[in-house]
A and B are shown apart, each in its own frame.
Chain A
Protein backbone atom coordinates (compact mmCIF):
# COMPACT_ATOMS: atom_id res chain seq x y z
CA UNK A 1 0.00 0.00 0.00
CA UNK A 2 2.73 2.41 0.99
CA UNK A 3 4.43 1.94 -2.32
CA UNK A 4 1.27 2.31 -4.35
CA UNK A 5 0.62 5.73 -2.89
CA UNK A 6 4.19 6.92 -3.23
CA UNK A 7 4.18 5.86 -6.83
CA UNK A 8 0.76 7.39 -7.36
CA UNK A 9 -0.44 6.48 -10.83
CA UNK A 10 3.10 6.12 -12.10
CA UNK A 11 3.47 3.60 -14.92
CA UNK A 12 6.99 2.73 -15.95
CA UNK A 13 7.78 2.64 -19.69
CA UNK A 14 10.77 4.08 -21.45
CA UNK A 15 8.80 6.68 -23.34
CA UNK A 16 9.78 10.17 -24.28
CA UNK A 17 7.47 11.58 -21.62
CA UNK A 18 9.12 9.67 -18.83
CA UNK A 19 12.38 11.34 -19.73
CA UNK A 20 10.97 14.85 -19.90
CA UNK A 21 11.71 17.34 -17.18
CA UNK A 22 8.68 17.58 -14.87
CA UNK A 23 8.64 21.34 -15.37
CA UNK A 24 8.23 20.93 -19.11
CA UNK A 25 5.38 18.54 -18.52
CA UNK A 26 3.56 20.72 -16.05
CA UNK A 27 3.77 23.86 -18.18
CA UNK A 28 2.91 22.03 -21.39
CA UNK A 29 -0.10 20.35 -19.90
CA UNK A 30 -1.37 23.62 -18.52
CA UNK A 31 -1.00 25.21 -21.95
CA UNK A 32 -2.72 22.39 -23.77
CA UNK A 33 -5.52 22.26 -21.25
CA UNK A 34 -6.16 25.96 -21.52
CA UNK A 35 -6.29 25.69 -25.27
CA UNK A 36 -8.73 22.77 -24.94
CA UNK A 37 -11.05 24.84 -22.83
CA UNK A 38 -11.63 26.98 -25.89
CA UNK A 39 -12.49 24.07 -28.15
CA UNK A 40 -15.57 24.87 -30.13
CA UNK A 41 -15.61 23.74 -33.73
CA UNK A 42 -15.59 20.25 -35.13
CA UNK A 43 -12.16 20.58 -36.68
CA UNK A 44 -10.64 21.91 -33.50
CA UNK A 45 -12.06 18.91 -31.68
CA UNK A 46 -10.60 16.64 -34.30
CA UNK A 47 -7.20 18.27 -34.02
CA UNK A 48 -7.31 18.08 -30.26
CA UNK A 49 -8.26 14.43 -30.43
CA UNK A 50 -5.41 13.68 -32.74
CA UNK A 51 -3.02 15.47 -30.43
CA UNK A 52 -4.20 13.51 -27.42
CA UNK A 53 -4.15 10.20 -29.29
CA UNK A 54 -0.66 10.97 -30.43
CA UNK A 55 0.42 11.67 -26.91
CA UNK A 56 -1.16 8.43 -25.69
CA UNK A 57 0.64 6.43 -28.33
CA UNK A 58 3.96 8.10 -27.62
CA UNK A 59 3.65 7.34 -23.91
CA UNK A 60 3.72 3.58 -24.67
CA UNK A 61 1.32 3.05 -21.80
CA UNK A 62 -1.29 0.37 -22.52
CA UNK A 63 -4.72 1.75 -23.30
CA UNK A 64 -6.49 -0.13 -20.49
CA UNK A 65 -4.50 1.88 -17.97
CA UNK A 66 -6.12 5.05 -19.26
CA UNK A 67 -9.44 3.27 -19.19
CA UNK A 68 -8.90 2.60 -15.53
CA UNK A 69 -8.33 6.30 -14.95
CA UNK A 70 -11.64 7.10 -16.61
CA UNK A 71 -13.58 4.51 -14.66
CA UNK A 72 -14.28 6.54 -11.51
CA UNK A 73 -15.92 9.28 -13.52
CA UNK A 74 -17.85 7.08 -15.89
CA UNK A 75 -20.96 7.94 -13.99
CA UNK A 76 -20.46 11.68 -14.39
CA UNK A 77 -19.78 11.25 -18.06
CA UNK A 78 -22.94 9.25 -18.63
CA UNK A 79 -24.97 11.66 -16.61
CA UNK A 80 -23.59 14.67 -18.46
CA UNK A 81 -24.28 13.01 -21.76
CA UNK A 82 -27.84 11.96 -20.95
CA UNK A 83 -28.56 15.31 -19.45
CA UNK A 84 -27.63 17.15 -22.61
CA UNK A 85 -29.34 14.67 -24.83
CA UNK A 86 -32.59 14.95 -22.94
CA UNK A 87 -32.74 18.57 -21.94
CA UNK A 88 -31.39 20.43 -24.97
CA UNK A 89 -34.21 21.85 -27.04
CA UNK A 90 -34.10 21.42 -30.78
CA UNK A 91 -34.99 18.97 -33.57
CA UNK A 92 -36.61 15.94 -32.01
CA UNK A 93 -35.46 12.68 -33.51
CA UNK A 94 -36.90 10.27 -30.93
CA UNK A 95 -39.32 10.64 -28.11
CA UNK A 96 -40.99 8.61 -25.37
CA UNK A 97 -43.62 10.18 -23.15
CA UNK A 98 -42.04 13.46 -22.00
CA UNK A 99 -38.50 12.50 -22.92
CA UNK A 100 -37.26 13.96 -26.17
CA UNK A 101 -33.96 13.32 -27.82
CA UNK A 102 -32.75 16.10 -30.07
CA UNK A 103 -29.98 16.45 -32.60
CA UNK A 104 -28.58 19.42 -30.79
CA UNK A 105 -28.74 17.45 -27.56
CA UNK A 106 -26.74 14.57 -28.99
CA UNK A 107 -24.32 17.05 -30.43
CA UNK A 108 -23.90 18.91 -27.13
CA UNK A 109 -23.70 15.75 -25.11
CA UNK A 110 -20.96 14.28 -27.24
CA UNK A 111 -19.08 17.55 -27.24
CA UNK A 112 -19.03 18.03 -23.48
CA UNK A 113 -18.24 14.42 -22.73
CA UNK A 114 -15.56 14.41 -25.33
CA UNK A 115 -13.91 17.47 -23.88
CA UNK A 116 -13.90 16.08 -20.37
CA UNK A 117 -12.46 12.81 -21.62
CA UNK A 118 -9.69 14.65 -23.46
CA UNK A 119 -8.87 16.75 -20.41
CA UNK A 120 -8.76 13.72 -18.16
CA UNK A 121 -6.59 11.75 -20.54
CA UNK A 122 -4.18 14.65 -20.66
CA UNK A 123 -4.15 15.07 -16.93
CA UNK A 124 -3.46 11.41 -16.36
CA UNK A 125 -0.48 11.66 -18.70
CA UNK A 126 1.18 13.81 -16.11
CA UNK A 127 0.58 11.44 -13.22
CA UNK A 128 1.20 8.30 -15.25
CA UNK A 129 4.62 9.42 -16.41
CA UNK A 130 5.80 11.30 -13.31
CA UNK A 131 6.16 10.15 -9.72
CA UNK A 132 4.33 12.38 -7.24
CA UNK A 133 7.51 13.48 -5.51
CA UNK A 134 9.15 14.37 -8.82
CA UNK A 135 6.08 16.37 -9.66
CA UNK A 136 6.34 18.22 -6.37
CA UNK A 137 10.00 18.85 -7.05
CA UNK A 138 9.20 20.27 -10.48
CA UNK A 139 6.53 22.48 -9.02
CA UNK A 140 8.93 23.80 -6.42
CA UNK A 141 11.47 24.68 -9.09
CA UNK A 142 8.82 26.37 -11.24
CA UNK A 143 7.71 28.51 -8.35
CA UNK A 144 11.24 29.20 -7.15
CA UNK A 145 11.34 32.76 -8.53
CA UNK A 146 8.46 33.65 -6.20
CA UNK A 147 10.79 32.91 -3.33
CA UNK A 148 12.48 36.22 -4.02
CA UNK A 149 9.18 37.94 -3.38
CA UNK A 150 9.15 36.33 0.06
CA UNK A 151 6.64 33.70 -0.88
CA UNK A 152 7.59 30.64 1.20
CA UNK A 153 7.96 28.32 -1.78
CA UNK A 154 10.34 25.93 -0.02
CA UNK A 155 8.07 25.53 2.94
CA UNK A 156 5.13 25.09 0.66
CA UNK A 157 6.96 22.38 -1.19
CA UNK A 158 7.94 20.65 2.06
CA UNK A 159 4.27 20.71 2.97
CA UNK A 160 3.39 18.86 -0.19
CA UNK A 161 6.21 16.39 0.26
CA UNK A 162 5.08 15.69 3.81
CA UNK A 163 1.52 15.26 2.65
CA UNK A 164 2.54 12.78 -0.03
CA UNK A 165 4.86 10.96 2.30
CA UNK A 166 2.31 10.76 5.09
CA UNK A 167 -0.64 9.36 3.18
CA UNK A 168 1.00 5.93 3.17
CA UNK A 169 2.19 6.44 6.74
CA UNK A 170 -1.34 7.11 7.88
CA UNK A 171 -2.70 4.10 6.07
CA UNK A 172 0.16 2.13 7.65
CA UNK A 173 -0.75 3.59 10.99
CA UNK A 174 -4.25 2.20 10.61
CA UNK A 175 -2.72 -1.14 9.68
CA UNK A 176 -0.40 -0.89 12.63
CA UNK A 177 -3.22 -0.30 15.07
CA UNK A 178 -5.15 -3.20 13.55
CA UNK A 179 -2.04 -5.37 13.79
CA UNK A 180 -1.40 -4.34 17.38
CA UNK A 181 -4.99 -5.22 18.22
CA UNK A 182 -4.66 -8.48 16.34
CA UNK A 183 -1.52 -9.26 18.33
CA UNK A 184 -3.59 -8.94 21.46
CA UNK A 185 -6.40 -11.12 20.30
CA UNK A 186 -8.77 -8.74 18.51
CA UNK A 187 -9.08 -9.25 14.79
CA UNK A 188 -11.20 -6.65 13.10
CA UNK A 189 -10.83 -8.20 9.68
CA UNK A 190 -12.55 -11.33 10.99
CA UNK A 191 -15.76 -9.36 11.62
CA UNK A 192 -18.60 -9.18 9.15
CA UNK A 193 -18.64 -6.13 6.93
CA UNK A 194 -21.43 -4.30 8.71
CA UNK A 195 -19.83 -4.82 12.12
CA UNK A 196 -16.47 -3.85 10.74
CA UNK A 197 -17.59 -0.36 9.74
CA UNK A 198 -18.52 0.41 13.33
CA UNK A 199 -15.38 -1.23 14.62
CA UNK A 200 -13.35 1.32 12.67
CA UNK A 201 -14.74 4.22 14.68
CA UNK A 202 -12.86 3.45 17.93
CA UNK A 203 -9.69 3.41 15.85
CA UNK A 204 -10.22 6.99 14.70
CA UNK A 205 -9.51 8.73 18.00
CA UNK A 206 -6.27 6.81 18.73
CA UNK A 207 -5.32 7.47 15.13
CA UNK A 208 -5.84 11.18 15.58
CA UNK A 209 -3.76 11.11 18.73
CA UNK A 210 -0.85 9.23 17.26
CA UNK A 211 -0.92 11.42 14.17
CA UNK A 212 -0.77 14.58 16.24
CA UNK A 213 2.07 12.98 18.17
CA UNK A 214 3.79 12.13 14.89
CA UNK A 215 3.45 15.75 13.87
CA UNK A 216 5.24 16.84 17.02
CA UNK A 217 8.15 14.45 16.47
CA UNK A 218 8.37 15.38 12.82
CA UNK A 219 8.61 19.03 13.78
CA UNK A 220 11.46 18.20 16.11
CA UNK A 221 13.13 16.11 13.42
CA UNK A 222 12.97 18.87 10.83
CA UNK A 223 14.10 21.57 13.24
CA UNK A 224 16.89 19.42 14.63
CA UNK A 225 18.32 19.05 11.16
CA UNK A 226 18.55 22.77 10.67
CA UNK A 227 15.82 23.20 8.09
CA UNK A 228 15.08 26.68 9.40
CA UNK A 229 12.67 28.33 6.99
CA UNK A 230 14.06 26.38 4.07
CA UNK A 231 15.59 29.39 2.39
CA UNK A 232 18.84 28.93 0.51
CA UNK A 233 18.95 25.14 0.76
CA UNK A 234 21.17 23.45 -1.77
CA UNK A 235 19.58 20.84 -3.91
CA UNK A 236 21.12 17.43 -4.46
CA UNK A 237 18.73 16.17 -7.08
CA UNK A 238 18.90 18.65 -9.89
CA UNK A 239 16.56 19.15 -12.75
CA UNK A 240 18.09 19.90 -16.10
CA UNK A 241 16.40 20.89 -19.32
CA UNK A 242 17.60 18.77 -22.20
CA UNK A 243 17.22 19.15 -25.94
CA UNK A 244 14.09 17.14 -25.85
CA UNK A 245 12.48 19.54 -23.40
CA UNK A 246 12.99 22.45 -25.77
CA UNK A 247 11.66 20.44 -28.69
CA UNK A 248 8.55 19.36 -26.81
CA UNK A 249 8.04 22.88 -25.53
CA UNK A 250 8.19 24.19 -29.07
CA UNK A 251 5.71 21.65 -30.35
CA UNK A 252 3.28 22.45 -27.57
CA UNK A 253 3.37 26.14 -28.39
CA UNK A 254 2.78 25.46 -32.07
CA UNK A 255 -0.11 23.17 -31.19
CA UNK A 256 -1.70 25.73 -28.98
CA UNK A 257 -1.38 28.35 -31.67
CA UNK A 258 -2.94 26.07 -34.25
CA UNK A 259 -5.91 25.37 -32.02
CA UNK A 260 -6.27 29.04 -31.28
CA UNK A 261 -6.21 29.93 -34.96
CA UNK A 262 -8.69 27.22 -35.77
CA UNK A 263 -11.04 28.61 -33.18
CA UNK A 264 -10.57 32.19 -34.24
CA UNK A 265 -10.98 31.24 -37.84
CA UNK A 266 -14.16 29.46 -36.82
CA UNK A 267 -13.31 26.38 -38.88
Chain B
Protein backbone atom coordinates (compact mmCIF):
# COMPACT_ATOMS: atom_id res chain seq x y z
CA UNK B 1 0.00 0.00 0.00
CA UNK B 2 1.78 3.04 -1.32
CA UNK B 3 -0.22 6.23 -1.23
CA UNK B 4 0.24 9.71 -2.65
CA UNK B 5 -2.10 12.10 -0.92
CA UNK B 6 -2.36 15.51 -2.61
CA UNK B 7 1.36 15.67 -3.17
CA UNK B 8 3.04 18.85 -4.37
CA UNK B 9 6.71 19.07 -5.13
CA UNK B 10 9.18 21.56 -6.59
CA UNK B 11 12.96 21.78 -6.78
CA UNK B 12 12.84 25.56 -6.95
CA UNK B 13 10.08 27.64 -5.49
CA UNK B 14 7.58 28.71 -8.10
CA UNK B 15 8.43 25.96 -10.57
CA UNK B 16 6.25 23.13 -9.46
CA UNK B 17 7.19 19.72 -10.76
CA UNK B 18 4.47 17.59 -9.15
CA UNK B 19 1.05 19.07 -8.63
CA UNK B 20 -1.72 17.80 -6.41
CA UNK B 21 -1.06 14.16 -7.10
CA UNK B 22 -3.11 11.44 -5.43
CA UNK B 23 -3.18 7.71 -6.05
CA UNK B 24 -2.79 4.42 -4.21
CA UNK B 25 -0.83 1.42 -5.35
CA UNK B 26 -1.97 -1.80 -3.70
CA UNK B 27 0.37 -4.60 -2.68
CA UNK B 28 1.05 -6.99 -5.55
CA UNK B 29 0.09 -4.69 -8.38
CA UNK B 30 2.16 -4.19 -11.50
CA UNK B 31 2.06 -0.57 -12.54
CA UNK B 32 3.63 1.26 -15.48
CA UNK B 33 4.34 4.96 -15.17
CA UNK B 34 4.56 6.79 -18.49
CA UNK B 35 4.84 10.34 -19.72
CA UNK B 36 6.94 12.78 -21.69
CA UNK B 37 10.54 13.62 -20.85
CA UNK B 38 10.70 15.93 -17.88
CA UNK B 39 7.09 15.33 -16.80
CA UNK B 40 8.21 14.22 -13.34
CA UNK B 41 8.42 10.42 -13.38
CA UNK B 42 11.82 10.12 -11.73
CA UNK B 43 10.78 12.72 -9.21
CA UNK B 44 7.73 10.61 -8.35
CA UNK B 45 9.96 7.59 -7.90
CA UNK B 46 12.23 9.51 -5.52
CA UNK B 47 9.20 10.71 -3.60
CA UNK B 48 7.92 7.14 -3.32
CA UNK B 49 11.22 5.99 -1.83
CA UNK B 50 11.45 8.92 0.57
CA UNK B 51 14.59 10.28 -1.08
CA UNK B 52 12.69 13.50 -1.73
CA UNK B 53 9.98 14.74 0.59
CA UNK B 54 6.75 16.35 -0.61
CA UNK B 55 6.45 20.10 -0.10
CA UNK B 56 2.74 19.65 0.53
CA UNK B 57 0.63 16.55 1.03
CA UNK B 58 1.81 13.15 2.18
CA UNK B 59 3.46 10.07 0.78
CA UNK B 60 2.81 7.00 2.87
CA UNK B 61 3.88 3.39 2.63
CA UNK B 62 1.80 1.03 4.79
CA UNK B 63 0.76 4.08 6.79
CA UNK B 64 4.37 5.10 7.43
CA UNK B 65 4.84 8.71 6.41
CA UNK B 66 8.05 9.29 4.43
CA UNK B 67 8.52 12.61 6.19
CA UNK B 68 9.16 10.92 9.54
CA UNK B 69 12.91 10.46 9.46
CA UNK B 70 12.92 7.73 12.08
CA UNK B 71 10.87 5.39 9.92
CA UNK B 72 12.67 6.10 6.68
CA UNK B 73 14.91 3.06 7.10
CA UNK B 74 11.89 0.77 7.10
CA UNK B 75 10.71 2.33 3.88
CA UNK B 76 14.10 1.93 2.25
CA UNK B 77 14.18 -1.72 3.27
CA UNK B 78 10.79 -2.40 1.75
CA UNK B 79 11.06 -0.32 -1.39
CA UNK B 80 13.79 -1.11 -3.89
CA UNK B 81 14.70 1.51 -6.45
CA UNK B 82 16.69 0.92 -9.63
CA UNK B 83 17.97 4.36 -10.67
CA UNK B 84 17.56 5.78 -14.15
CA UNK B 85 21.30 6.08 -14.48
CA UNK B 86 22.99 2.96 -13.08
CA UNK B 87 26.22 4.90 -12.59
CA UNK B 88 24.50 7.01 -9.96
CA UNK B 89 23.62 3.88 -8.09
CA UNK B 90 27.07 2.34 -7.79
CA UNK B 91 28.65 2.66 -4.38
CA UNK B 92 31.42 0.09 -4.26
CA UNK B 93 34.31 -1.06 -6.39
CA UNK B 94 33.30 -4.49 -7.64
CA UNK B 95 30.14 -5.99 -9.05
CA UNK B 96 30.03 -8.47 -6.21
CA UNK B 97 30.34 -5.81 -3.50
CA UNK B 98 27.66 -3.83 -5.25
CA UNK B 99 25.13 -6.62 -4.87
CA UNK B 100 26.28 -7.51 -1.36
CA UNK B 101 26.14 -3.93 -0.04
CA UNK B 102 22.36 -3.77 0.17
CA UNK B 103 22.10 -7.28 1.58
CA UNK B 104 24.47 -6.45 4.42
CA UNK B 105 22.42 -3.36 5.19
CA UNK B 106 19.22 -5.31 5.61
CA UNK B 107 21.04 -7.80 7.82
CA UNK B 108 20.80 -10.84 5.65
CA UNK B 109 22.88 -13.64 7.22
CA UNK B 110 26.10 -14.59 5.45
CA UNK B 111 25.06 -17.90 3.89
CA UNK B 112 21.87 -16.39 2.62
CA UNK B 113 23.81 -13.50 1.05
CA UNK B 114 25.71 -16.00 -1.05
CA UNK B 115 22.49 -17.59 -2.30
CA UNK B 116 20.90 -14.33 -3.19
CA UNK B 117 24.07 -13.03 -4.82
CA UNK B 118 24.24 -16.09 -7.02
CA UNK B 119 20.59 -15.95 -7.89
CA UNK B 120 20.60 -12.27 -8.82
CA UNK B 121 23.84 -12.35 -10.76
CA UNK B 122 22.75 -15.39 -12.72
CA UNK B 123 19.38 -13.88 -13.44
CA UNK B 124 21.05 -10.98 -15.22
CA UNK B 125 23.81 -13.18 -16.66
CA UNK B 126 26.75 -11.31 -15.20
CA UNK B 127 28.52 -14.28 -13.60
CA UNK B 128 31.72 -13.58 -15.51
CA UNK B 129 31.99 -10.06 -14.20
CA UNK B 130 31.83 -10.49 -10.41
CA UNK B 131 35.22 -8.91 -9.87
CA UNK B 132 34.93 -6.20 -12.52
CA UNK B 133 34.55 -2.58 -11.58
CA UNK B 134 30.97 -1.49 -12.20
CA UNK B 135 32.19 1.68 -13.88
CA UNK B 136 34.15 -0.26 -16.45
CA UNK B 137 31.29 -2.26 -17.88
CA UNK B 138 29.40 -1.65 -21.09
CA UNK B 139 26.22 0.43 -20.96
CA UNK B 140 23.88 -2.54 -20.85
CA UNK B 141 26.03 -4.46 -18.39
CA UNK B 142 25.81 -1.55 -15.96
CA UNK B 143 22.04 -1.70 -16.10
CA UNK B 144 22.09 -5.43 -15.46
CA UNK B 145 24.23 -4.99 -12.35
CA UNK B 146 22.02 -2.17 -11.08
CA UNK B 147 18.98 -4.42 -11.45
CA UNK B 148 20.68 -7.38 -9.77
CA UNK B 149 21.69 -5.26 -6.77
CA UNK B 150 18.07 -4.38 -6.07
CA UNK B 151 16.46 -7.69 -7.00
CA UNK B 152 18.76 -9.46 -4.54
CA UNK B 153 17.35 -7.41 -1.68
CA UNK B 154 13.85 -8.82 -2.29
CA UNK B 155 11.94 -5.75 -1.19
CA UNK B 156 8.16 -5.64 -1.27
CA UNK B 157 8.12 -3.05 -4.00
CA UNK B 158 10.62 -2.50 -6.77
CA UNK B 159 10.67 0.71 -8.78
CA UNK B 160 12.43 0.32 -12.13
CA UNK B 161 13.23 3.79 -13.45
CA UNK B 162 13.86 3.14 -17.15
CA UNK B 163 16.07 0.33 -15.98
CA UNK B 164 16.01 -1.51 -19.30
CA UNK B 165 16.58 1.42 -21.65
CA UNK B 166 19.95 0.19 -22.84
CA UNK B 167 19.39 -3.53 -22.87
CA UNK B 168 19.29 -5.57 -26.06
CA UNK B 169 15.88 -7.07 -26.91
CA UNK B 170 16.83 -10.37 -25.36
CA UNK B 171 18.04 -8.71 -22.17
CA UNK B 172 14.84 -6.73 -22.03
CA UNK B 173 12.94 -9.98 -22.33
CA UNK B 174 14.98 -11.52 -19.52
CA UNK B 175 14.32 -8.63 -17.20
CA UNK B 176 10.68 -8.78 -18.19
CA UNK B 177 10.56 -12.40 -17.09
CA UNK B 178 12.39 -11.60 -13.84
CA UNK B 179 9.74 -8.97 -13.19
CA UNK B 180 6.95 -11.39 -13.98
CA UNK B 181 8.42 -13.97 -11.68
CA UNK B 182 8.78 -11.50 -8.81
CA UNK B 183 5.29 -10.23 -9.45
CA UNK B 184 3.96 -13.76 -9.35
CA UNK B 185 5.60 -14.14 -5.95
CA UNK B 186 3.61 -11.15 -4.76
CA UNK B 187 6.02 -8.30 -5.25
CA UNK B 188 4.69 -4.92 -6.34
CA UNK B 189 6.34 -3.81 -9.58
CA UNK B 190 6.46 -0.17 -10.60
CA UNK B 191 7.95 0.28 -14.02
CA UNK B 192 8.79 3.67 -15.48
CA UNK B 193 9.34 3.23 -19.20
CA UNK B 194 9.14 4.78 -22.65
CA UNK B 195 8.73 1.37 -24.26
CA UNK B 196 5.05 1.09 -25.09
CA UNK B 197 4.97 -2.64 -25.66
CA UNK B 198 6.18 -3.07 -22.06
CA UNK B 199 3.46 -0.76 -20.84
CA UNK B 200 0.88 -2.94 -22.46
CA UNK B 201 1.80 -5.91 -20.31
CA UNK B 202 1.40 -4.02 -17.03
CA UNK B 203 -1.86 -4.29 -15.11
CA UNK B 204 -2.25 -0.60 -14.61
CA UNK B 205 -0.91 2.54 -16.12
CA UNK B 206 -0.32 5.93 -14.53
CA UNK B 207 0.02 8.63 -17.16
CA UNK B 208 1.83 11.74 -15.98
CA UNK B 209 1.46 14.96 -17.90
CA UNK B 210 3.26 18.13 -16.81
CA UNK B 211 3.39 17.01 -13.21
CA UNK B 212 -0.23 15.93 -12.98
CA UNK B 213 -1.77 12.50 -13.00
CA UNK B 214 -3.69 12.46 -16.27
CA UNK B 215 -4.88 8.87 -16.52
CA UNK B 216 -4.98 5.97 -14.12
CA UNK B 217 -6.34 2.67 -15.33
CA UNK B 218 -6.04 -0.26 -17.67
CA UNK B 219 -3.40 0.10 -20.41
CA UNK B 220 -5.51 -1.58 -23.10
CA UNK B 221 -8.38 0.82 -22.47
CA UNK B 222 -5.95 3.69 -22.44
CA UNK B 223 -4.43 2.93 -25.83
CA UNK B 224 -7.79 2.19 -27.38
CA UNK B 225 -9.24 5.53 -26.39
CA UNK B 226 -6.58 8.17 -25.72
CA UNK B 227 -4.92 10.46 -28.25
CA UNK B 228 -1.46 9.31 -27.24
CA UNK B 229 0.48 11.93 -29.19
CA UNK B 230 -0.88 14.59 -26.83
CA UNK B 231 1.25 13.00 -24.16
CA UNK B 232 4.34 12.44 -26.32
CA UNK B 233 3.54 8.73 -26.47
CA UNK B 234 3.10 6.37 -29.41
CA UNK B 235 0.85 3.37 -29.89
CA UNK B 236 2.41 0.01 -29.10
CA UNK B 237 2.97 -2.26 -32.06
CA UNK B 238 0.04 -4.42 -31.02
CA UNK B 239 -2.29 -1.44 -31.13
CA UNK B 240 -0.95 -0.28 -34.51
CA UNK B 241 -1.67 -3.74 -35.80
CA UNK B 242 -5.07 -3.70 -34.19
CA UNK B 243 -5.89 -0.50 -36.03
CA UNK B 244 -4.71 -1.98 -39.27
CA UNK B 245 -7.16 -4.81 -38.75
CA UNK B 246 -9.82 -2.17 -38.14
CA UNK B 247 -10.43 -3.41 -34.61
CA UNK B 248 -11.93 -6.67 -35.81
CA UNK B 249 -10.49 -8.79 -32.97
CA UNK B 250 -10.20 -7.85 -29.31
CA UNK B 251 -6.94 -6.11 -28.40
CA UNK B 252 -4.47 -8.19 -26.38
CA UNK B 253 -0.94 -7.47 -25.24
CA UNK B 254 0.41 -10.43 -27.18
CA UNK B 255 0.08 -9.34 -30.80
CA UNK B 256 1.13 -12.69 -32.27
CA UNK B 257 -1.83 -14.22 -30.52
CA UNK B 258 -3.99 -11.52 -32.03
CA UNK B 259 -2.78 -12.21 -35.57
CA UNK B 260 -3.43 -15.92 -35.22
CA UNK B 261 -6.89 -15.25 -33.92
CA UNK B 262 -7.59 -12.89 -36.81
CA UNK B 263 -6.36 -15.46 -39.29
CA UNK B 264 -8.58 -18.16 -37.87
CA UNK B 265 -11.67 -15.94 -37.98
CA UNK B 266 -11.18 -15.09 -41.61
Task: Give yes or no for direct A-B contact (beta carbon below 8 Å).
Answer: yes
A220 to B48, CA, bound (A): 13
Say whether chain A's binding surface is mostly helix, strand, loop, or mixed.
helix
Among residues 225 to 267 in chain A, which have CB atoms less than 8 Å away from a CB atom of chain B? 225-228, 230, 232-238
Write the A131-175 contact mask toward B (1 if CB under 8 angstroms, else 0): 001000000000000000000000000000110010001001000
Q: Does A60 contact B (CB under 8 A)?
A: no
Question: Given the known A-B contacts A2-B133, A172-B135, A223-B51, are A217 and B107 also in contact in the complex, defined by CB atoms under 8 Å?
Answer: no
What's the minimum C-beta distance from B45 to chain A, rounded to whole angstroms? 10
B90 touches A226 (CB 8 A): no
B residues less than 8 Å from A222 (CB atoms): 91
B residues less than 8 Å from A232 (CB atoms): 107
Question: Given the known A-B contacts A133-B93, A221-B83, A221-B90, are A226 and B106 also in contact in the complex, defined by CB atoms under 8 Å?
Answer: yes
A223 to B69, CA, bound (A): 12
Number of residues in A with C-beta < 8 Å to the partner?
28
B104 touches A224 (CB 8 A): no
Write the A160-203 contact mask toward B (1 if CB under 8 angstroms, else 0): 01100100010010000000000000000000000000000000
Contact partner, B91, options A2, A221, A238, Cβ 8 Å: A221
What's the minimum C-beta distance from A5 to chain B, rounded to whole angstroms? 10
A residues less than 8 Å from B101 (CB atoms): 225, 227
A228 to B105, CA, bound (A): 8
B73 touches A6 (CB 8 A): no
> B49, B80, B102, B109: which has the most chain A beta carbons within 10 Å?
B102
B103 touches A218 (CB 8 A): no
Interface size range of chain B in the complex = 35 or more
A238 to B111, CA, bound (A): 12
B residues less than 8 Å from A162 (CB atoms): 91
Write the B79-117 contact mask toward A (1 if CB under 8 angstroms, else 0): 011010100111111000000111111111110011000
Question: Given the known A-B contacts A221-B88, A223-B76, A224-B76, are A234 and B107 also in contact in the complex, defined by CB atoms under 8 Å?
Answer: yes
Supply 4 further A-B pairs (C-beta < 8 A) apart from A221-B90, A221-B91, A230-B105. A217-B83, A224-B83, A226-B102, A228-B105
Q: Give the top 8 A-B pairs by smallest Cβ distance, nearest first.
A: A217-B88, A226-B76, A225-B102, A228-B73, A226-B77, A233-B104, A236-B100, A226-B105
Binding site for B on A (CB under 8 A): 2-3, 6, 133, 161-162, 165, 169, 172, 217-218, 220-228, 230, 232-238
A-B contact pairs, 19 of them (CB 8 A): A2-B133, A2-B135, A6-B93, A165-B93, A217-B88, A218-B91, A221-B83, A221-B88, A221-B91, A223-B72, A224-B76, A225-B101, A226-B73, A226-B77, A232-B107, A233-B104, A233-B105, A234-B104, A236-B104
